[in-house]
Amino acid sequence: MARLLLEYLILAFVSCLGLFQLIAVREGLHGISFFNRAIWGYLFAALTIGGSLSWFFAVENRLVPGLVGPQVFALLIAAFFLALVITLSLSSLIKRRSLSRQDNPEPGIDALRRMTYFQAIAHQLRRGKKDGLRR
């Protein structure tokens, strides 16, 4: 049972990584994409999502009862947040020098079109510090 839990976690994690890259490419969020060219993002998404599903269901017969709803949900949420942290961290490390830092980026998630997540956080912290000094 523990092995099935781990394998489902891996399936959900890898699929979420691929999904985040697919969203990044489709929406033009260069700050969270691992790649500079869209075709590589699409290819990565297809290989990770398709590959993880193929691996999970083709290697063994996993269509037998084993995991219950709350376990599946908890593992999916854990995999989602782990994939999100890895995506934001890895893309910020990969593109730390290739994306420009802006003085006035777009608000919200649109800031990730031209800067990495860590750059956007640093910008917000600097901006908050300046706003605090002005008061």
Given the structure tokens 């006035």, which residue do they identify? Answer: 104
Residues 6+ apart with CB under 8 A from 66: 1, 4
For the chain, the structural domain boundaries read 2-134
Angle of CA points 8, 18, 5, to nearest 5°: 5
Tokens of 38: 């869209």
> Is the CB of residue 62 less than 8 Å from the CB of residue 4?
yes
pLDDT tens digits, residue range 36-91?
999 999 999 999 999 999 998 887 776 656 667 888 899 999 999 999 999 999 99
Residue 95, judged by CB atoms within 10 A of its CB (0-12, 13-18, 19+), counts as buried
Does 133 have pLDDT greater than 70? Answer: no
Look at residue 120 in the predicted model and tell me its pLDDT.
85
